[in-house]
Copies of this chain bind each other. A is one copy, B any other.
Amino acid sequence: MNNRLLKALLRQPVDRTPVWIMRQAGRYLPEYRKIRAEAGDFMTLCSTPELACEVTLQPLRRFNLDAAILFSDILTIPDAMGLGLYFSEGEGPKFKKTIDNANDVKKLIIPDPADKLAYVADAVSLIRKELNGKVPLIGFAGSPWTLATYMVEGGSSKTFAKIKGMLFEDPASAHTLMSKLADSVAHYLNAQIEAGAQAVMIFDSWGGALSTSHYKTFSLAYMQQIVDQLIREKDGEKIPVILFTKGGGMWLPEIANTGCDAVGLDWCVDIGKARQQIGGKVALQGNMDPAIMATNPEVIKQEVSRILADFGHGNGHIYNLGHGITPNITPDNVAALVDAVHDISAQYHV
């Protein structure tokens, strides 16, 4: 097996910096768009293990990536809680029911991953089988705070007015909500690990919308609650945990202190400075500006060089973008990125 990813996540020596791409299975690939059109509906893709497996594997057939990541959505958990997830064209995810008050929070039931979320573990098992040891498989979930924003707002938001109203006006309910979500995520990720996920990542996409004090209280504390419950070793192999807060560059030391193995960095962060701050404690994953993917192979190579040089010699770097790849990217540029990381990084691992 190509186990660069797992080694790098544990800050062990590798021959090349491993690379994978957030949303590597996605709309920029024509073969993804074809399957997506045939399935008709995004949730059908996620909830049909054969389709989820197929789209997970698509980018690996094209590019020399060092990891697969489960094709799914962070909102499967609130969907399994009964909120009725659907996707409206051009508007992103929506929920039929929202969490409006203390009573709604009280009634929420932590989903059993073996019940309504069984399709996720089934997809993980199938992908592991199909990967056949080629590269490791990453499982993932959303952070409690990020999930809560969608559940309370009913979809995407720019100002998070409703969920922030809850944090300020009914903090007790907000804490109950986050705690239920943390336990749900922990069970869900453990089910992915039991089914074969070899590393797991928690996406805190909206942590950067919070004040420092609220970030620590309502987001980071509940990622900690998850990390504390995760299976960290299986069949003699460590299961590394990656935490990623978009917009969290000010809080890297606190994130690294949760006991996670790696911290995802968005593109705003100076990776060299981040390594000085927390590189002795965790691996770093990131952090190229996704906008660069729309330029050309020459510019992509330059940026790869710069980021690899900023990280410098030694272990503990997993190359990635600082956020998901966008649908407008040509696959050729992705190939250029992946190859550039492998070619240029060799010098930093001698």
A residues sitting closer than 8 Å to B (CB atoms) are 159-161, 164-165, 168-169, 208-215, 247, 249-250, 267-270, 273, 289-292, 294-296, 299, 303, 306, 322, 326, 328
Q: Known interface pairs A165-B295, A211-B289, A294-B165. Does A247 touch B268 (Cβ–Cβ under 8 Å)? A: yes
Contact of A164 among B210, B211, B212, B289 (CB under 8 A): B289
Measured in the bound complex, the distance between the Cα atoms of B268 and A211 in whole Å is 4
Q: Known interface pairs A250-B249, A250-B250, A291-B159. Does A270 touch B212 (Cβ–Cβ under 8 Å)? A: yes
Contact of A169 among B270, B296, B328 (CB under 8 A): B296
Q: How many copies does the complex hold?
A: 2
Can you offer 8 A-B residue contacts whose CB atoms are under 8 A?
A161-B294, A169-B299, A210-B268, A211-B267, A212-B268, A212-B269, A212-B270, A250-B250
Sample of 18 further A-B pairs with CB below 8 A, known A212-B269, A247-B268: A160-B291, A164-B289, A164-B292, A164-B294, A165-B295, A168-B291, A210-B268, A211-B267, A211-B268, A211-B289, A211-B322, A212-B268, A212-B273, A214-B289, A247-B247, A249-B249, A250-B268, A250-B270
Measured in the bound complex, the distance between the Cα atoms of B209 and A250 in whole Å is 15
Measured in the bound complex, the distance between the Cα atoms of B270 and A168 in whole Å is 17
* B250/A164 in contact, CB under 8 A: no
What B residues does A295 contact at CB under 8 A? 165, 168-169
What B residues does A161 contact at CB under 8 A? 291, 294, 326, 328
Closest chain B CB from A300 CB (angstroms): 9
Measured in the bound complex, the distance between the Cα atoms of B247 and A267 in whole Å is 13
* B290/A159 in contact, CB under 8 A: yes
What B residues does A268 contact at CB under 8 A? 208-212, 215, 247, 250
What B residues does A209 contact at CB under 8 A? 268
Measured in the bound complex, the distance between the Cα atoms of B169 and A294 in whole Å is 10
What B residues does A273 contact at CB under 8 A? 212
Closest chain B CB from A59 CB (angstroms): 21
Contact of A299 among B159, B168, B215, B294 (CB under 8 A): B168
